[in-house]
Amino acid sequence: MAKDNVIVIGGGPCGIEVSRNLRDLGYTPILLEQQSELGGHLRLWDRLFPEGVEARKILKDLTSDLKGVKWFTDVNIESIHKSRKGYTVNVDTGMSFETKALVVTTGFKLFPAERKQEYGYNIYERVITNADLEQYFHTRKDPRIQNPKTIGFVHCVGSRDEKACNRQCSKVCCATAVKQASEIKELFPDAIVYCFYMDLRLFGRSYEDMYLTAQKQYGVRFIRGRVSEVSEDIDGKLFVKAEDTLLGKPMKMKLDLLVLMTGILPGESTTQLSEMLKINVGEDGFFTPRDTILEPCRAKDAGLFMAGACTGPKTIPETLSEARATAIQVHKYLSR
């Protein structure tokens, strides 16, 4: 049985699952996370589509069995040196780790909603993001959410948006919007909920059912068109202008709450490591694997692997599947 160290950079669900699987294959994974807790964005989410499973339960299951995984939090990568033997990773706590195989699972960051200035995030109080709403679902505390009667969701905030320098689809936001629209309708049954979308890109099993349930059971109103601008009236209500492209008409409405479905961008560590390790990135800033179809988990360089949202937006099940596949790829590489 092999006993090699394998370093995994990034302690979100992907990094955790890679580590667990490597541990099961007989390796000693060293998991490095820059935040003070493991879990990445999963820590900040309340429920996951399509069934509405609690995110914290998934995270608890993932982290409940880390025996044999050496994990470190509050760790920043200072430098990485590549040699014929493998990689040396130096971190800001003064520690240094040697490995023959390095796995990068640095994930994503959410598009900063304030960059779409016309939507007024951080300007108008009742404009929030999908992440803010997940926090509210968990804590039920947010002074911006006071029994709203009219609620809007804006899809594709910072995704598929050339002006925001982010052309790609973030893949998970449509499903998240449908999930959140249904959830908020459960909390506030009298509220009228609108979803403003360009296209609805819900592709997975049961997602269509989730979409139909949102319409039939919860009465969510889907409007094909983008919000053009948001302002505030004298009572603090949001004054929203949009276009209904199916009716071919401009719309104006007053809302009590507007939720911006912020898209997915490469994480800051992804950008940092792409420079350190000279990993190819696409125009979108995500890592480009050696072969997007046959070897999606391997970088060009030998011994360098990548998994999860650092190679593009993914759902949690996709991320976990890719994590398991990556562990097997690492094992094959180290056993060659």
Partner 1 sequence: MLYKGKQKIWSDYQKEIPDDHWFYVRSCIRQNFFPASEVTFLRILRDELGKDIYETPHHTTCGGIAYHQECIPQETQMTIIARQFALMTEAGYENYACSCITSFGLYCETLETWHEMPEVLERIRENLWKACRREFNIPKYLAHSSDLVYKFRNEIAERAKYKLVNRFTGEPLKVVEHIGCHYAKMFPSKGVGGAEYPYVLVGMAESWGGNVIDYPERRHCCGYGFRQYHVKANRGYSVSNTHKKFESMEPYHPDFIVTNCPGCPYFLDRWQYVIAEQTGKTYGGDGQGIPVLTYEEMAGLVLGYNPWDIGMQTHQIAVEPLLDKIGVEYDESKKYEGSGGKPLPEPEFPMNIRCC
Longest dimension (CA), the chain: 70
Q: How far is the CB of 120 from partner 1 (least distance, A)?
A: 8
> For partner 1, which is the closer residue by CB, 127 or 172?
127
Name the residue with tokens 């490597």.
22
Q: How far is the CB of 128 from partner 1 (least distance, A)?
A: 12
Q: Which member of 37, 74, 92, 125 binds partner 1 (CB under 8 A)?
A: 125
Closest CA to 277 of 301, 312, 307, 308: 301
> For partner 1, which is the closer residue by CB, 121 or 197?
121
Cα atoms in the Cβ-side hemisphere of radius 13 Å centred on 179: 24
Q: Which member of 139, 205, 234, 294 binds partner 1 (CB under 8 A)?
A: 234
> For partner 1, which is the closer residue by CB, 67 or 252?
252
**Cα–Cα distance for residue pair 204/50, rounded to 1 Å:** 9
Q: Rg (Cα) of the chain, in Å, rounded?
A: 21
Binding-site size, partner 1 (CB under 8 A) = 14
> Quick one: 170 exposed, middle or buried, by C-beta within 10 A (0-12, 13-18, 19+)?
buried
Task: Report the SS3 class of residue 35.
Answer: coil
Q: How far is the CB of 126 from partner 1 (least distance, A)?
A: 11
> For partner 1, which is the closer residue by CB, 120 or 263?
120
**Cα–Cα distance for residue pair 306/289, rounded to 1 Å:** 8
Between vectors from CA 130 to CA 125 and to CA 131, what angle results, nearest 5°? 90
Q: How far is the CB of 252 from partner 1 (least distance, A)?
A: 9
Length of the chain counted residue by residue: 336
Q: How far is the CB of 112 from partner 1 (least distance, A)?
A: 11
Q: Which member of 74, 92, 186, 229 binds partner 1 (CB under 8 A)?
A: 229
Q: How far is the CB of 117 from partner 1 (least distance, A)?
A: 4
Separation of first and last alpha carbons in the chain: 13
Residues 252-311 that bind partner 1 (CB under 8 A): none
Amino acid code (one letter) for 267: G
Q: How far is the CB of 239 from partner 1 (least distance, A)?
A: 4
Number of H helices and number of E strands within the chain?
7, 20
239 binds partner 1 (CB under 8 A): yes
Bridge partner list, 239: 231, 254
Q: Which member of 53, 123, 212, 302 binds partner 1 (CB under 8 A)?
A: 123
Site string for partner 1, 83-122 (x = CB under 8 A): -------------------------------x--xx--xx
Q: Which member of 71, 111, 124, 218 binds partner 1 (CB under 8 A)?
A: 124
Q: Which member of 78, 208, 232, 301 binds partner 1 (CB under 8 A)?
A: 232
> For partner 1, which is the closer residue by CB, 24 or 142?
142
> For partner 1, which is the closer residue by CB, 232 or 243?
232
> Quick one: 107 exposed, middle or buried, by C-beta within 10 A (0-12, 13-18, 19+)?
buried
| Structure-block tokens of residue 282 | 């696409």
Q: How far is the CB of 111 from partner 1 (least distance, A)?
A: 16
**Which residues bind to partner 1, rule: CB under 8 A?**
114, 117-118, 121-125, 229, 231-234, 239
